[in-house]
Amino acid sequence: MIDIIFNNLFLAIALLIMLIYLLLGVISLVELLEYKRGHRHADFNAMLSSPLSPGITVIAPAYNESKTIIENIKGLSSIHYNNYEIVVVNDGSRDDTLEKIIKEFSLEKVEEELYSTIPTQPVRGVYKSKNKAYSFLTVVDKKNGGKADALNAGINVSRNPYFVGIDVDSVIVPDALLKLAKPFLSYTTKRVVATGGVIRVANSCKIENGQVMQVNVPDKFWARFQIIEYLRSFLMGRMAWSKLNGLLIVSGALGMFDKEVVVQCGGYNSNTVGEDMELIVRMRRYLYEQGIKHRVVYVPDPLCWTEVPDNLKSLQRQRNRWTRGNMDTLLIHRKLFLNPRYGRLGMLGYPFWFFFEWMAPLLEGLGYIFMIYLIIVSAINLHVFLFLLAFVYLFSVSFSFYAVLFDEFTFHRYHRFEHLRRLFLIPFLEPLIYHPLNVYFAIRGNISFFRGNRQWGSMDRKGFDDKSEPKTT
Amino acid sequence: MKILICGENPLQLKMMKNELEQEGDEVRLSWSGIDLMAHVIKFMPDVLITEVLLPQINGFEFIDNVRKHFPKISIMVLSSLRSEHLIDFVFRLGANDFVFKPFDPETLRGRILKLQESKNSLLTLNYMDYVTSV
Amino acid sequence: MLRRYKAILLFLASLFLLVLLSLFVKQWLLQDTWWLEGYQWIDWMHDIGHFYMNFLSTETGKHFLLGFLFPLLYTSMILTVFNIGFIAFFILFRRWRSINNYVYFSRMREKTEDVLLEYLYGDKDAAMVKLRSLNRRILVKEMVGLRKQIIGSKADQLRSLFYELHLDDFIIRKIKYSRWFNKIMYIDAAQWMLVTRAEDVIEPYQYVTNVYIRNVAQVACISLSPDSAFSFLNVLEYPLPVWHQIILYKSMVLSSVPIPDFYAYLRSDNTTVVLFALNMIRLFSQRGDEEKIIALVSHEDPIVRRNALKVICDLKIYQAMETVKQYFQKETIRNQVNMVHVLSLDKTEETLDFYKTIWIETKPNVRMEILKHIEPALRKKLQDTMPSERGFNETISNIHA
């Protein structure tokens, strides 16, 4: 009796999941095409010289980045925008990050009073450049407090109505601010409170002067898996959620926010590892409670290139942290679950995230264990098992191919035959190798969460990233 | 006179080249934005006409570099920028002249000549200005 | 309306097609043999399906859901296999084609550029012959691209060439009949080449639902019909977001159209039109009936209030002081910052007096904003005279402390 229920229930759940993913994929496709076509002739340069374009502060927290910081700041200074400032927050680095910046950009300490609207760790000094070419640069030196704390310090210094939070080591394309700012200026009936851009994998790409000069598919397999994964989640998932207005996350690597709302909500939460997701959820929750109609928008343009972990150890740490961050946010805001008061966020976004990001790996892990048990007691029907296995496998392969197709339809960053040759094998291997591993990491993340590890982990505590190796640019 | 023109619209650059070559100047063009510094070093122009919104590279940094390494080249910025803040910034970086787009190609030559004349007298002053402001 | 649910309709339609197809497949699988016997790989497919159908019908109790859905799943599985191959080839094909296209188009573009230059600087008649044979789409693109960069006699030559080649007829036809995203390009071309005949065609596009076309049509009408350029503001039902305002402002600056009196639009029912009018009054420093602007300080929309305050600040409207002081306490914090800017236009003592009267009942974060945005002398006086609650001073961290 139990196995009958079990068989049919599992099949029903699997089919439901597939249907939901398919629906999201179709919505994404329609959205992507519209975005692409509507913006083909858009005059983004009009914003560059317009007095109506809003001021933007770019906040880049840095922690022990001595090797790459100069290159990164120079990359940031090539952003095309007319009314922006860069705030680099040195989060109590233990190496010579601050000294290097001071020397390279000839900074001097400015004596200005700091009005902290959001409480942070004490600030030791604010620096500005003596060189006029870098007049837009401000450096804040503060006591170590983690990425969220550093971003909060940056928000306190900022004088513009919008700010962009970035990872200092990711490469931002020059027109990123223009593209990110446009949704804020295009909606009138709803208030846009945050926008995010698509993150792409920068491993093995040729980077010069802080800009991607030539796109390549990474040499390492672990990074290649993540290309497909990122394409799928950004082009097929988040695009659709943006349309449905159910987004729960804007990636910490690049996201633009309405400062007023962020300050009202109290800024980033420095007690969680998933501060990027927690902020969005808290902002949206606050706005729903205030009865303000709002949107979180995703821009499908590839605006940010970031180095992803290319070995198992750092991949595991990253995934472990993501899982804990997810769970933290979901638990803090558990009131949202299927709560009609919170509109699309409560009825669609939160439950999806809960089931698909938190429960799905657990359920899948359970499924694997049960399957092995069934095989051992030989209670499994081999034919049915094989058929379902083949079906699920083919489905996920074709889904990955669709992700590559979407990239091809819209921005075709992987434009050489060489790239495609390297990419085409990955979807076939991914469900066999990479996916089960991810499930394993997620389960490990759950375990370490319930053991009480809610920090960045003892090894990488207060660090921003899981990169163990220094990057060469 | 040797003139190097950088920009992003090939047709516009070619047109400027035609216009200037009528008067017997030696003109070279670059619209890809790649290796601009190398072009400058190889060609050693008297006048550099450039857009700031270049593809691939940052125009501001480019102007800054040229000014730092070759104080003798007159830099004329030809741009569709309208923001006073940025135009001010361009001058602070050491540009000698700023021409708004859309511009009249036929008056360009006159503008360049005027720039060259005033440069001789102003060069030292300008350069000193730049050095002291750093 | 349909456009909004396009994705869901597409999804449902494809599901429906899949179910239909699966009904056929079911019939096909139920048969033992069939008329296309002999093609090995189809036979193979059929046999597996057939086997499963038989097998599942014996085990209906255990796998009833699978038994019920099997034809559907099997169909989609077959489709998926084909799909993977198809997508892979499709991507490769698109790559191959776009590389070829790129080579072709860049060659065509270069050719077009050379001929255009020949026309402008060399033998006109010979160039005309060549121009007539070129791809008109690329020609329009190149000419408009150049026209955007230059003014003067060469630009006029370019325009007359445009008419001589009858490209105006070409783009009018294209505006009427091409797909929406191409319309954008041709409307833009009509604007730059001043094809006044196209105005009748473009005019209705100012009120369509598609934001991209609406915007570009509004911009085009500014250049094409200077007399009734901003008439769309009177009847516009759709909002006019800041993005459109930026584009409109740019084309106003670039073209020599007389700027209308924007005070006329301050009473519009469409809030975004009011915002646009306020912004333009500020940017063009238009003088007019100041009472109208002061009245907007108590408007119901906070964004309108904020922009009205900006105008007051930039145009230095001193009469507004009393109204601003009156509404100060009720404002949102972001607007209060703007009010602080307005108040600093006034004499220092009067402003100080005002802050003194409100200081006690003001929240700490508002006080902080006030301190942040007033000039240093006033700040010092205010900090010296006004008592602060405990804990307040701690939040102001002085850097040299």
- Residue A139: predicted pLDDT: 93
SS3 assignment, position C47: helix
Give CA A449 to chain center in angstroms: 21
C197-206: average pLDDT: 88
Query: At a CB cut-off of 8 Å and minimum separation 6, what does C75 contact?
Result: C18, C21, C22, C25
- Residue C337: predicted pLDDT: 83
What distance in Å separates residue B60's CA from the closest CA in chain A? 8
- Mean of the per-residue pLDDT values for chain B? 81
Q: Are A304 and A199 in contact (CB under 8 A)?
A: yes
Q: Which among A189, A395, A405 has the least Cβ separation from residue C80?
A: A395
Tokens 């350029």 belong to: C229
CA dihedral A248, A250, A252, A255 (to 10 degrees): -150
Task: Record the tokens describing residue C72, joined without a space.
Answer: 């559907």
Q: Which residue has the higher pLDDT, A202 or C378?
A: A202
Residue type, A242: S
Closest-CA residue to C219 (of C239, C243, C197, C238): C243
Dist CA C266 CA C292 (whole Å): 7
- Residue A462: predicted pLDDT: 35
Q: Give which of C6, C84, C338 to mutate to test A binding, by max A Cβ within 10 Å.
A: C84
- Residue B124: predicted pLDDT: 55
Go through chain A and tell me how many residues it has: 473
Q: Are C80 and A394 in contact (CB under 8 A)?
A: yes
Q: Are A61 and A150 in contact (CB under 8 A)?
A: yes
Lowest pLDDT segment from A24-28, C66-70, C279-283: C66-70
B70-74: average pLDDT: 87
Tokens 């191919």 belong to: A401
Angle at which helix B10-21 crosses helix C136-149, to 10 degrees, equals 60
Beta strand B47-50 with B2-6 is parallel
Torsion angles phi and psi, residue C295, rounded to 5: -65, -30
C246-271: average pLDDT: 85
All structural domains of chain C with their residue ranges:
100-165, 289-394
Q: Are C400 and A111 in contact (CB under 8 A)?
A: yes
Task: Record the tokens describing residue A114, joined without a space.
Answer: 């700091």
Per-residue pLDDT tens, chain A, 473 aa: give them.
666 777 788 788 888 989 999 999 999 999 998 899 888 888 888 888 788 889 999 999 998 888 888 888 888 877 888 888 999 999 988 888 899 999 988 898 887 666 667 888 888 889 998 877 788 899 999 999 889 999 999 998 888 889 999 988 788 888 899 999 999 999 888 899 999 989 999 888 888 777 787 888 888 889 999 999 999 998 888 999 999 999 999 988 899 999 989 988 889 998 888 889 999 999 999 999 999 899 999 999 888 998 899 889 999 999 999 999 999 999 999 999 999 999 889 999 999 999 988 998 998 898 888 888 888 887 777 888 888 889 989 999 999 999 888 888 888 788 788 888 888 889 999 999 999 999 999 999 999 888 876 555 433 333 334 333 332 22
Task: Record the tokens describing residue A275, joined without a space.
Answer: 């501060």
In chain B, the residue whose alpha carbon lies closest to the alpha carbon of C249 is B82
- Residue A151: predicted pLDDT: 93
Torsion angles phi and psi, residue A414, rounded to 5: -95, 85
Task: Record the tokens describing residue A285, joined without a space.
Answer: 């929750």
Report the percent of chain B where pLDDT is more than 70: 87
Dist CA A323 CA A319 (whole Å): 6
- Residue A394: predicted pLDDT: 92
User: pTM of the predicted model, to two decimals?
Assistant: 0.86
Dist CA C179 CA C201 (whole Å): 15
Q: Are A189 and A220 in contact (CB under 8 A)?
A: no
Q: Is C216–A395 a contact, with Cβ atoms under 8 angstroms apart?
A: no
- Residue A179: predicted pLDDT: 92
Closest-CA residue to A328 (of A460, A151, A245, A446): A446
- Residue A468: predicted pLDDT: 32
Q: Is A108 on the interface with C (CB under 8 A)?
A: no
Distance of CA A114 to CAs A44, A110, A301, A337, C355, Å? 35, 11, 36, 39, 21
Helix (H) or strand (E) holding C17: helix C6-30
Q: Which among B12, B22, B106 has the least Cβ separation from residue C149?
A: B12
| CATH numeric code, C289-394 | 1.25.10
Q: Is C9 on the interface with A (CB under 8 A)?
A: no
Q: Is B68 on the interface with A (CB under 8 A)?
A: no
Task: Record the tokens describing residue A404, joined without a space.
Answer: 């590559």
B72-97: average pLDDT: 84
- Residue A180: predicted pLDDT: 93
DSSP state of A235: I
Distance of CA C77 to CAs A394, A470, C66, C294, Å? 7, 45, 14, 68
C222 pLDDT band (50/70/90 cuts)?
A: confident
Report the percent of chain C where pLDDT is more than 90: 16
Residue type, C191: Q
Q: Is B130 on the interface with A (CB under 8 A)?
A: no
Interface of C with A in 367-386 (CB under 8 A): 368-369, 371-372
Q: Is B89–A135 a contact, with Cβ atoms under 8 angstroms apart?
A: yes
* Residues of A in Cβ contact (< 8 Å) with C212: 38, 42
Closest-CA residue to A102 (of A128, A76, A72, A73): A128
Give CA B2 to chain center in angstroms: 12
Interface of B with A in 94-123 (CB under 8 A): none
Closest-CA residue to A140 (of A119, A158, A154, A160): A154
Q: Mapped to the 3 state alphabet, what secondary structure does C173-223 carry? A: HHHHHCCHHHHHHHHHHHHHCCCHHHHHHHHHHHHCCCHHHHHHHHHHHHH
- Residue A59: predicted pLDDT: 94
Domains and CATH numbers, chain B: 2-133 (3.40.50.2300)
Dist CA C353 CA C361 (whole Å): 14
Residue C125, burial from CB neighbour count under 10 angstroms (0-12, 13-18, 19+): exposed
Q: Which residue has the higher pLDDT, C363 or C336?
A: C336
Query: At a CB cut-off of 8 Å and minimum separation 6, what does A151 contact?
Result: A59, A61, A89, A165, A267, A268, A275
Torsion angles phi and psi, residue A62, rounded to 5: -130, 135
All structural domains of chain A with their residue ranges:
1-42+170-473
Q: Is B79 on the interface with C (CB under 8 A)?
A: no
Instruction: Tell which phi-psi region holds residue A347, choosing left (phi > 0), alpha (psi between -120 and 50) or beta.
Output: alpha
Q: Is B81–A49 a contact, with Cβ atoms under 8 angstroms apart?
A: yes
Closest-CA residue to C360 (of C398, C323, C392, C396): C392
Whether the predicted pLDDT of C134 surpasses 60: yes
Go through chain B and tell me how many residues it has: 134
Go through chain C and tell me how many residues it has: 401
CA dihedral A4, A5, A10, A16 (to 10 degrees): 120
- Residue C6: predicted pLDDT: 87
ipTM entry? 0.85
- Residues of chain C with a CB closer than 8 angstroms to some CB in chain B: 109-110, 113, 116-117, 120-121, 142, 145-146, 148-155, 250, 253-254
For A414-423, letters b (16+ CB in 10 Å) and e give bbeeebbebb
Closest-CA residue to A408 (of A22, A21, A29, A18): A29
Q: Which residue has the higher pLDDT, C340 or A210?
A: C340
Other C-beta atoms closer than 10 Å to the C-beta of C32 total 8
Closest-CA residue to A209 (of A344, A336, A74, A320): A74
C243-250: average pLDDT: 90
* Residues of C in Cβ contact (< 8 Å) with A143: none
Query: At a CB cut-off of 8 Å and minimum separation 6, what does C224 contact?
Result: C190, C191, C194, C195, C196, C198, C199, C202
DSSP, residue by residue, C101-153:
HHHHHHHHHHHHHHHHHHHHHS-HHHHHHHHHTS-HHHHHHHHHHHHHHB-SH
C32-36: average pLDDT: 66
